């Protein structure tokens, strides 16, 4: 089917398409722990989850020269890729939602602050690379999440209209980004509680893509 004019579904990747946050936490602790920065789940969700590597470097590696910052963050991402290899699984209901959007001609976009290599690995591991019309990488733009630019770029890539589209996010910074772009955003509760996500701007939250409220809301927004 041809794309439905103006409508789009936009998805974060880590913690949204697949529950990978625990592996990111482990990788950050392996690499930043010896440098004096250790994280529990609460600190991870407030200070790391959903933020770009540029902002993480500026905050936690400010004493290092830029080349070392890049190398250290690269080590963290390589550690994550080793940890996640062969383990990535889609959240319940995801594949059915993607298939229904395809049948309805709704374009889908992946919008992430993750490095491109990570994003492509996860989409490939889930077997859904071809489902997405565009992949937007926050660090490749002038501003990553929580700035609205990544989601505005996602809309632009498929001719989407914010008021007709829906976004799915699991982090505060991601919800802030999508909401600031004018997109109704559903929080996926892989790491954060309902109240935290609503406070960040989510219109509702869901445990996964099988959640009846998510299914109802997306169906109504997409007219299927």
Exactly one of 12, 21, 170, 211 is catalytic; which is it? 12
Q: CB–CB of 44/29 below 8 Å?
A: no
Q: Can you name the residues that pair with 128 across neighbouring β-strands?
A: none
Sign of CA dihedral 160, 164, 168, 169: positive
Question: Rounded to an integer, what distance in angstroms lies between the CA atom of residue 19 and that of residue 25?
Answer: 12
Q: Can you name the residues that pair with 160 across neighbouring β-strands?
A: 6
Exactly one of 14, 21, 170, 211 is catalytic; which is it? 14
Sheet holding 166-169, edge to edge: 134-137, 108-112, 9-11, 166-169, 184-188, 204-206
Please say if 19 is a catalytic residue: no
Please say if 12 is a catalytic residue: yes
Residues assigned a catalytic role: 12, 14
């Amino acid at each position: 089917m041809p794309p439905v004019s103006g409508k789009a579904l936009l998805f974060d990747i880590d913690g949204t398409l697949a529950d990978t946050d625990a592996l990111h936490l482990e990788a950050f602790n392996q690499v930043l722990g010896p440098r004096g920065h250790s994280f529990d789940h609460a600190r991870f969700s407030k200070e790391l989850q959903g933020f770009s590597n540029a902002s993480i470097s500026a905050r936690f590696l400010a004493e290092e020269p830029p080349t070392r910052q890049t190398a250290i963050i690269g080590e963290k991402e390589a550690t994550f890729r080793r940890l996640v290899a062969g383990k990535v699984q889609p959240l319940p209901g995801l594949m059915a939602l993607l298939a229904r959007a395809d049948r309805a001609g709704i374009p889908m976009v992946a919008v992430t602050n993750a490095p491109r290599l990570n994003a492509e690995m996860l989409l490939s591991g889930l077997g859904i690379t071809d489902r997405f019309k565009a992949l937007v990488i926050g660090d490749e733009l002038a501003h990553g999440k929580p700035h609205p630019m990544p989601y505005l770029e996602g809309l632009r890539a498929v001719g989407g209209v914010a008021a007709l589209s829906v976004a799915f996010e699991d982090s505060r910074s991601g919800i802030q980004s999508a909401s600031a772009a004018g997109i109704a955003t559903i929080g996926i509760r892989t790491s954060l509680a309902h109240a935290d996500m609503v406070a960040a701007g989510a219109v509702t939250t869901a445990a996964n893509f099988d959640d009846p409220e998510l299914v109802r809301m997306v169906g109504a927004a997409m007219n299927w």
